[in-house]
Amino acid sequence: MLPSSSDVVIVGAGNAAFCAAHAAAEHGVSVLVLERAPEEESGGNSRFTAGAFRCVYDGVDDLRALMPDLTDEEVANTDFGTYTKDKFFDDMGRVTEYRTDPDLCELLITRSKDTMRWMQKKGIRFIPIYGRQAYKIDGKFKFWGGLTVEAWGGGPGLVEAHTKIAKKNGVTVAYNARALSLLADDDGVHGVRVKHDGRTVEVRAKCVVLAAGGFQANTEMRTRYLGPTWELAKIRGTRFNTGDAIRMALDIGAMPTGNWSGCHAVGWDRNAPEFGDLAVGDNFQKHSYPWGIMINANGERFVDEGADFRNYTYAKYGRAVLAQPGGYAWQVFDAQVLPLLRDEYKMRGATKVRADSLEELVDKMQDVNPAGFLKTIRAYNAAVKRDVKFDPNIKDGKATVGLALDKSNWANTMETPPFEAYSVGCGITFTFGGVKIDPSAHVLDIEDQPIPGLFAAGELVGGLFYFNYPGSAGLMAGAVFGRIAGRGAGEFALAR
Ligand SMILES: Cc1cc2nc3c(=O)[nH]c(=O)nc-3n(C[C@H](O)[C@H](O)[C@H](O)COP(=O)(O)OP(=O)(O)OC[C@H]3O[C@@H](n4cnc5c(N)ncnc54)[C@H](O)[C@@H]3O)c2cc1C
């Protein structure tokens, strides 16, 4: 049975929602989490993730505080470097082309370290991302790209830990409970209309936190806001983020903001299913393209695969793939880099071909112009700076010179058999447009005034990300703003 009232109601049960629930519960108020999905599919996109968090750390001592399990041997064998506030600011500015909302961006960055410690103290365990974010060169791992920490057990582990903590704190979690609309009047928000186990009921609340994700799983909204062909993209994560909470907020006069035509989208196995598959998680992605080249149906390259570490390019290259003829591309690698391919390339059922010559390879691809492909590779090989050493841990400057579209780093020649090629389409992760919040995570109305009793956090908040995204800022943003929203909701509920 769903309670007929709760001090705080939280819509959604992903990372942002649970951080809000933990923070609200600190105020001793009653908290109800409404999850649209059945329990076995619960946890939103957060459950599909690797659990990686982009957070500030000023040295190994910060990491040891966050990950007390780090051994002396690991510390001795690893160059963790630092990820300072300044670096995080640089990354957010650069990838969003300086459009990011300065207030939200500052909160995301300056609260990241403290929020991670808060989560850890609540009972979430973190570990270093060896393998994906650090390669062992000359006996030592070196982390790169500002990304060092992940939740133990990845996304599933993160959601499981969140759920346990919430229940321990007396939070009620209701599954199969889809929020339909907000109960609101001139004094603000007073609850939620919910469809629970097929029946529509009202739950009264002193305040509501919306944390129900973006609109990426809604074909109509995707096409309306992102544009033509976006109905053809595959959904990387949950099928339940259909923009419900954004619509609910807009219906009562919330201000839309941010990059409504923008989204996070990646190269994703071309034959992946329509929606994410929890048994596969994020393994349909293909993120090792910086070590090879990407070609389209004409056999032509269309992006600088080595423009930056993959953390700073992958979220915009899905859009580039969708824009190619037929909406697909092939990632091509030769034997020199095959050992470096991420685990996801070893997934059974990956759309893959392998051959001992480039001619045979393109023949197996079947849907790529062979003459165009061979011409591209010949020109590419001739343009590679052969005298520069390849190093995957740094932007090595091993570039091509003189091509219409050069590759800026990691440009190995494509000449050592065997060759492998992997076919990708576009997989959308989440949408960037959403509702406007103030720095206390209160939702603002169309006059820029807080809507009393309405807070928001996570994917459905607009203004942070434009065009692109620094890898793993999503969970961090959900945690920082979820915590702020939950704290604000707890205080609001006590005062109302
Ligand atoms: C494959 C994949 C890998 C990723 N890897 C990473 C990573 O490693 N690091 C990172 O930072 N980010 C990653 N991301 C992005 C990350 O998942 C999101 O940024 C983050 O999880 C968003 O959290 P959230 O709480 O806002 O939304 P979600 O976790 O999606 O939660 C939304 C919740 O709302 C519920 N809901 C929806 N509608 C309703 C309704 N009407 N009523 C009630 N409940 C509703 C959903 O069921 C869900 O529980 C990845 C995403 C995917 C898909």
Digitized pLDDT (tens) for each residue of the chain, 496 residues in all: 899 999 999 999 999 999 999 999 999 999 999 999 999 999 999 999 999 999 999 999 999 999 999 999 999 999 999 999 999 999 999 999 999 999 999 999 999 999 999 999 999 999 999 877 888 878 888 898 889 999 999 999 999 999 999 999 999 999 999 999 999 999 999 999 999 999 999 999 999 999 999 999 999 999 999 999 999 999 999 999 999 999 999 999 999 999 999 999 999 999 999 999 999 999 999 999 999 999 999 999 999 999 999 999 999 999 999 999 999 999 999 999 999 999 999 999 999 999 999 999 999 999 999 999 999 999 999 999 999 999 998 999 999 999 999 999 999 999 999 999 999 999 999 999 999 999 999 999 999 999 999 999 999 999 999 999 999 999 999 999 999 999 999 999 999 9
Q: Name all contacts of 378-385 with Cβ < 8 Å and 24+ positions apart.
A: 379/403, 380/293, 380/301, 380/407, 380/411, 380/413, 380/414, 381/413, 381/414, 381/415, 383/411, 384/411, 384/412, 384/413, 385/411
pLDDT, one tens digit per residue, over 260-312 is 999 999 999 999 999 999 999 999 999 999 999 999 999 999 999 999 999 99
Task: Give the count of beta carbons closer than 10 Å to the beta carbon of residue 279.
Answer: 6
Predicted pLDDT at 146: 87
Of all protein residues, the one whose alpha carbon is nearest to atom 35 of ligand 1 is: 12
Cα 84 from Cα 164, distance rounded (Å)? 32
Indicate the helix (H) or strand (E) that contains 190.
strand 188-196
Pocket test for ligand 1, best of 45, 124, 263 (most atoms within 8 A of CB): 45
Decide if 50 contacts 56 (C-beta within 8 A). Answer: no
Atom of ligand 1 nearest to the CA of 474: 19
Predicted pLDDT at 137: 78
Cα 401 from Cα 403, distance rounded (Å)? 6
Cα 484 to ligand 1 centre (Å): 18
Predicted pLDDT at 131: 75
Of all protein residues, the one whose alpha carbon is nearest to atom 2 of ligand 1 is: 49
pLDDT, one tens digit per residue, over 240-270 is 999 999 999 999 999 999 999 999 999 999 9
Atom of ligand 1 nearest to the CA of 429: 53
Going by their DSSP bridges, the two strands 134-137 and 140-143 should be labelled as antiparallel
Atom of ligand 1 nearest to the CA of 150: 8
SS3 at position 417:
coil
Cα 211 to ligand 1 centre (Å): 9
Predicted pLDDT at 126: 98
The candidate with the shortest Cα–Cα distance to 318, out of 253, 266, 364, is 266
Cα 282 to ligand 1 centre (Å): 13
Of all protein residues, the one whose alpha carbon is nearest to atom 21 of ligand 1 is: 46
Decide if 288 contacts 364 (C-beta within 8 A). Answer: no
Predicted pLDDT at 335: 98
Cα 473 from Cα 469, distance rounded (Å)? 7
Predicted pLDDT at 138: 81
Indicate the helix (H) or strand (E) that contains 421.
strand 419-431
Of all protein residues, the one whose alpha carbon is nearest to atom 14 of ligand 1 is: 49
Spell out which residues line ligand 1, taking CB within 6 angstroms: 11-17, 34-37, 42-46, 48-52, 178-179, 211-213, 236-238, 240-241, 244, 276, 282, 429-430, 458-459, 472, 474-475, 478
Given its phi and psi angles, is residue 145 left (phi above 0), alpha (psi -120 to 50 degrees) or beta?
Answer: left
Going by their DSSP bridges, the two strands 450-456 and 199-210 should be labelled as parallel
Cα 5 from Cα 32, distance rounded (Å)? 9
Atom of ligand 1 nearest to the CA of 285: 1
Amino acid (one-letter) located at 366:
Q
Predicted pLDDT at 144: 84
Cβ burial of 28 (10 Å; 0-12, 13-18, 19+) is: exposed
Of all protein residues, the one whose alpha carbon is nearest to atom 53 of ligand 1 is: 237
Predicted pLDDT at 15: 98
The candidate with the shortest Cα–Cα distance to 33, out of 43, 41, 45, is 43
| Start-to-end C-alpha separation, the chain | 26
Cα 15 to ligand 1 centre (Å): 7
Predicted pLDDT at 139: 84
Task: Give the count of beta carbons closer than 10 Å to the beta carbon of residue 485.
Answer: 34
Pocket test for ligand 1, best of 9, 46, 484 (most atoms within 8 A of CB): 46
Residue matched to tokens 């953390």? 311
The two three-digit tokens of residue 296, written as one number: 């389209």
Atom of ligand 1 nearest to the CA of 482: 25
Atom of ligand 1 nearest to the CA of 178: 42
The candidate with the shortest Cα–Cα distance to 234, out of 425, 459, 394, is 425
pLDDT, one tens digit per residue, over 316-348 is 999 999 999 999 999 999 999 999 999 999 999
Stated pTM of the model: 0.97
Cα 150 to ligand 1 centre (Å): 16
Indicate the helix (H) or strand (E) that contains 423.
strand 419-431
